[in-house]
Amino acid sequence: MDEKTLISVWHKSRTQIIQAQVAPALVLIAIMVLAAFNKFDTANDATKYLALGVAAATGILAIISQYAAVREGEALLVDLRKVEKRSALADKIADSRGLLSLSAIAIVGLGIAIFALVTWAVLG
């Protein structure tokens, strides 16, 4: 692939990571609002477990999607390094491996931490 195509794929991967965060963010907002108004205090156990299940499912699917985009991005960086006479933008993108690896770690770590907080908010 040429530089322009690789950069286009890079931008699509970044967009995919960002878009994968929308649904879980909306679920988290809903759970946060319900918890803030103490709605889980009077909810039955089935409702609480359903809220946790929905949060977990959305979060896990988002993490999988984001992690896949990161892995594809890592492969893209290898290909981009092989392009001769790269532009300054291509050089910057090709040097992003460390940030990409950090993103993968953050995606998983923050996902686990947020689910722990959601569990605490729902179950008390």
Among 106, 101, 103, 21, residue whose Cα is nearest residue 65: 21
Share of the chain above pLDDT 90, in %: 79
Structural domain total, the chain: 1
Above 90 in pLDDT, residue 43?
A: yes
pLDDT bracket for residue 81 (50, 70, 90) = very high
What is the CATH classification number for the domain harbouring 111? 1.10.132
Residue 1 has pLDDT above 90, yes or no: no
Q: What angle do CA 21, 97, 108 make, to 5 degrees?
A: 35
Average pLDDT on 21-33 reads 94
- CA-CA-CA-CA torsion sign (72, 22, 106, 14): positive
Stretch 91-113: mean pLDDT, rounded? 93
Q: Which domain holds residue 109?
A: 3-123
**Residue with more model confidence, 18 or 55:** 55
Q: Could you tell me which residues come within 8 angstroms of residue 33 by beta carbon, excluding any fewer than 6 positions away? A: none
